[in-house]
Structure 1
Amino acid sequence: MSRPQEPHRPFFSFGNPFRILSPKSSQLSPRLRSQLNAFEETLLERLQKLTPKDKDDVLSLAWMKLAMESLSEGHNDVKNLITELELPVSDWDEKWIDVYLDISVKLLDICIVFSSELTRINQGNLLLQCLLHNLESNSPDQFTRARSSLDSWRRHINSKNPRVETCKPILDSLVESLNLPKVKNSAKGKVLMHAMYGAKVETVYICSVFASAFCGSAKNLVELTIPDSLSWAQAFTNLQTNMNTEIRNIFSQGEVTVLKELGAVNACLEKLYPMLEDELVPVDVESFKSSVSDLRRMTEKLTQGLDLLTKEVDGFFKLVLTGRDALLCNLRAPGTPPDTMLGRNVEGQALS
């Protein structure tokens, strides 16, 4: 996974974003207000869907897949809104473009980090498969080989990925980017800025959860404060409060592996390890076979979850990259026809 290097464009801080996030202004036409309401209602529904119903959902691969799907849907919603607004890139304020390019490159960077960690965890799966092969064989030295595979897996899964440490400065910058540029004399621009704000809040928060899960620390969790006037504010606050409380509780217990599926595999291995200490066949053969069966089942669940999540992360990366490329193409094409707009001219593009 790689991205092209673009010349750095300056990042601007635009002051208090809440001033432009007041309740729907009378300056908006009924059509624009309806379009913004539809976007925010969908955002609210996605946030409610992400709020875990059970604490076991927190930091599970299934929840993380759902969260990444939600981000892709949100960015697609912004793309579709731009198309509906019929807002050509030629009408974009330069400040909007600077913000967009700055945020999109940071999202690409953090996706690369997430993919790197998922790849590292998947490499541990190869050790688990080797372990299972040894446990299920009938060779004289099966337990010696199994212990060796188990020790290798422990060392690998407890090692740290240095790339994950780069998440903190990226997240800090993304939080700063929630400051929005002021919009003057453009009702469509105000609708766009409102939509961008919603998509960015969800994106920044979800990325902070992923970064926390992968680094094994709550230091990457963010606590975002958003205006109460937003229709989706309560749904977001509920999600953030529930997730952050449970994540901090998980870390306070000193869990070695915070991802639920990894934890389940680790529990099976802890049960098996004492049975492998002797050179001879375990005394309780039935218990041994049951433990091996449980390990295989948990390993398959982990493998499937990792594969699905990796596809979602890759898909989100491509979505952001395609949207960025589409915008840059528009900016480089003088005299672009009015009907060639970001959101219409490239399939699958998105606004971050």
Structure 2
Amino acid sequence: MNSNHNLRKPFLHFGNPFRMISNKGSSLSPKLVGLLDSFEENLMEKLKSLKPREQDGVLSLSWMTSALESLCAIQTEVKSLISALELPVNDWDEKWFDVYLDNSVKLLDVCIGFRSEVSRLNQGNLFLQSVLHNLDSAAPVQFTKAESSLDHWRQHISSKNPRIEKCSSILCQFIDTLDVPRIKNSSKGRVLMRTMYGVRVVTVFICDVFAAAFSGSAQKLVDLPAPEACLWAEAFTEVQALVNGEIRKIHSGGKVMVVKELVAINTSVKKLHPLVQKGEDTVEVEALKSSITDLRNSSAELTQRLDSLAREIDSFFQILLAGRDALLGKLRVGSDVSNMMQHNNNAKHQVVR
């Protein structure tokens, strides 16, 4: 089947989210143009840094960790930009709040799904540690136990994580709300809308890559458009084409396991398994030692990189949670101020009467 059949065509039914600010100079003050340009230039540089130096580095755990580091940095920069805009909460459209809060919950769920997959992969790595332990032992039954652990690893690693399947569905819903409501008709609101759109597009792209890598399927992988008005558009289009193209290429070749470190483990397991099956008496000693060394090195690298990825997922989760709490806090303050003003107005009317 042609891979193009698997692509969704997002927001064809939406309008252009940048129609109000395609010409920044004519509608925004120099200060706002400077804030927006600075943010978009930083976003562009982060996207450029996501272009893998090596073609097979697209689906490595180290690339995924770097991608999440970039997302965390982008989220922090957004908070700084919002503070610099000094946009009053009561100028924000309620629909925007609803979309933001709903999407933040979706992203938190996605983070939980990714974290569960990292934990599952770490659990699988325990079987490999058992293999290495048994083969280091002098017990007569070491080969039988090692073979059993290798079989358990194969079964575990080939199983599906339902939470990852759920992540793909959540991301599809997220895409449908990328064209967010405007924050009234203010220049600050338009800057914030454009900024948040860029963040959301990059976030969906990276999370979509994670879902494809962890699920072993590229069927729900989406190519997102980037409006030419954005300074980051060209960099985004380039890195998305490179990463998504490589993922589809791997899957079109019939491969299910695509994460580089897992592929290395699988290669080591395939070499070791037939040697263990032969038994202690007939095994080729040098070949066995070499295979054990390869598996030990691959397993150690997997453990290290899974730990690094887990930390970045946790950091991203906390940043999302903090941003959500901060917005809810502003909403409560805004509500208190609004209620106080309403109370004062009612009191004045009563005095007049």
TM-score, normalised with respect to structure 2: 0.88
* Residue equivalent to 2:102: 102
Matched AA of 1:257: M
Q: Aligned equivalents of 1:54 and 1:121: distance in 2?
A: 24
Q: Aligned equivalents of 1:255 and 1:294: distance in 2?
A: 22
Q: Contact between 1:17 and 1:179, CA under 8 Å: does it hold in 2?
A: yes
170-179 or 65-74: which moved more? 170-179
178-187 or 252-261: which moved more? 178-187
Q: Aligned equivalents of 1:185 and 1:18: distance in 2?
A: 13
Q: Aligned equivalents of 2:54 and 2:44: distance in 1?
A: 20
* Residue equivalent to 1:217: 217
Alignment of 1:181-196 (within 5 A): 181-196=181-196
* Residue equivalent to 1:245: 245
Q: Aligned equivalents of 1:148 and 1:182: distance in 2?
A: 59
Q: Aligned equivalents of 1:207 and 1:246: distance in 2?
A: 16
Distance 1:292 1:37, change over 3 A: same
* Residue equivalent to 2:273: 273
* Residue equivalent to 1:340: none
Q: Contact between 1:276 and 1:282, CA under 8 Å: does it hold in 2?
A: no
Q: Aligned equivalents of 1:113 and 1:21: distance in 2?
A: 36
* Residue equivalent to 1:284: 284
* Residue equivalent to 1:259: 259
Matched AA of 1:332: R
Deviations 1:9-34 (A, max 9, x none): xxxx9744242351314221111100
Q: Tell me how large the CA RMSD over aligned residues is.
A: 1.7
Q: Aligned equivalents of 2:130 and 2:283: distance in 1?
A: 23
Q: Contact between 1:23 and 1:230, CA under 8 Å: does it hold in 2?
A: no
Q: Contact between 1:110 and 1:170, CA under 8 Å: does it hold in 2?
A: yes
Gaps of 5+ in 1: 1-12, 338-352
Q: CA deviation at 1:99?
A: 1.8
Matched AA of 1:274: P
Q: Contact between 1:61 and 1:260, CA under 8 Å: does it hold in 2?
A: yes
TM-score, normalised with respect to structure 1: 0.88
Q: CA deviation at 1:163?
A: 1.6
283-292 or 129-138: which moved more? 283-292
Matched AA of 1:64: M
Matched AA of 1:330: K
* Residue equivalent to 2:171: 171
Normalized per residue, which structure has more helix?
2
Q: Contact between 1:20 and 1:182, CA under 8 Å: does it hold in 2?
A: no
Aligned length: 325
* Residue equivalent to 1:53: 53
Distance 1:25 1:177, change over 3 A: farther
SS of equivalent residue, structure 1 residue 277:
helix
Q: Aligned equivalents of 1:205 and 1:211: distance in 2?
A: 10
Q: Aligned equivalents of 1:79 and 1:336: distance in 2?
A: 23
Q: CA deviation at 1:180?
A: 2.6
Matched AA of 1:192: L
Distance 1:177 1:21, change over 3 A: farther
Matched AA of 1:71: L
Matched AA of 2:262: L
Q: Contact between 2:47 and 2:239, CA under 8 Å: does it hold in 1?
A: yes
SS of equivalent residue, structure 1 residue 17:
coil
Q: Aligned equivalents of 1:18 and 1:172: distance in 2?
A: 22
Matched AA of 1:177: T
Distance 1:263 1:254, change over 3 A: same
